[in-house]
Chain A
Amino acid sequence: MREELIGKRYEPFTAQVDKWRLRFFARTIGETNPACFDEVAAHKAGYRSLLAPLTLPFSLAMDFDQSLLVLKDLGADLTRTVHGEQSFTRFAEIFAGDVITGQQEITDIFEKKGGALLFAVTRTRIDNQIEEHVCDMDTTIVIRQQLS
């Protein structure tokens, strides 16, 4: 039963927040804050290094296939999957050079529309190298199931 996966916690992952990647991400979303690109501007703003854009932590988790691990456990096909909801509950910022640790847990699994849609909800907690709780990310994945 898929519902038995509720409460499953995945192995923690550790990610280095790379300057090049942070700038690349900021550029592709069209970010204009100089603190995301220029270390002098970042220091002037009081940051220890380049500021990570708001949604970067989701990508840091993506690097470690966190959603794919859930889909694999559900036996779901990636091309029939959409991202339903995403939230960030924020306690601290992420900066280039940080080493963050994340851990994902499945918090809910349920069906809608007579089983046509399967929902998986996860929470990923992110902490940093100075033991700050950086954020919690709640993710809802929706899988369009082929009904037999």
Chain B
Amino acid sequence: MEQPIFSSISVGESIPPLTIGPIDRTQLALFAGASGDHNPIHLDDDKARQGGLPGTIVHGMLNMAFLGRLLTQWVPQQQIRRFSSRFVGMAFPGDEITCLGTVASCDASAGENCVTLELVAQNQSGEVLLKGLATICLT
């Protein structure tokens, strides 16, 4: 992996995107097992509807894991100092998820070369599912 270098990064530039999917129910069942999140809204249409949802929804933390992969395909994981997201939209089985990152700021003032990325995960219609931020230190 060719690693990004702080001096060559500029505000506004995009990091390589990542597209996942389409997500199927099998992946949701496997993620429920692997993640320990057994909430029936991700597994059982009937129970999801009882809770007022249109049907089963993708785990927010699965989408966040995809955003994490966007970062770790760009830099080694230990360079990621902070990673956050807001779950602003719901993804459903059949959706394709695209993860995008844009450099929002570069800061070398604290003795480390850090960049802040604005992150978005969106579905195939461009509807935003997650909005995130990451602070990454580069050499």
Contacts and interface: CB of A to CB of B under 8 A. Distances in A.
Given A29-B31, A79-B48, A83-B60, A54 B82 contact: no
Interface residues of B, number: 38
B34 A28 contact: yes
B69 A85 contact: no
A79 B51 contact: yes
Interface stretch (A3-11, A58-66, A106-114, A120-128): A58-66
Given A31-B69, A144-B52, A54 B36 contact: no
A87 B131 CA distance: 12
A66 to B, nearest CB: 10
A62 B37 contact: yes
Interface range on chain A (Cβ under 8 Å from partner): 35 or more
A59 B59 CA distance: 12
A122 B48 CA distance: 25
B65 A29 contact: yes
B51 A58 contact: no
A85 B84 CA distance: 7
B33 A24 contact: yes
Given A28-B27, A29-B65, A54-B65, A59 B84 contact: no
B66 A90 contact: no
Contact of B62 (A29, A60, A78, A85): A29
A144 B20 CA distance: 29
Contact of A85 (B40, B68, B86): B86
Interface string A40-62: 00000000000101110011101
A87 B83 contact: yes
B78 interface: yes
Interface string B37-55: 1011100000110111000
Interface pairs A-B: 4 shortest CB-CB? A79-B51, A87-B84, A54-B68, A62-B36
Given A21-B34, A54-B83, A60-B36, 13 more contacts: A28-B27, A29-B68, A32-B73, A51-B77, A58-B61, A59-B61, A62-B36, A62-B37, A79-B39, A79-B40, A80-B52, A85-B84, A86-B61
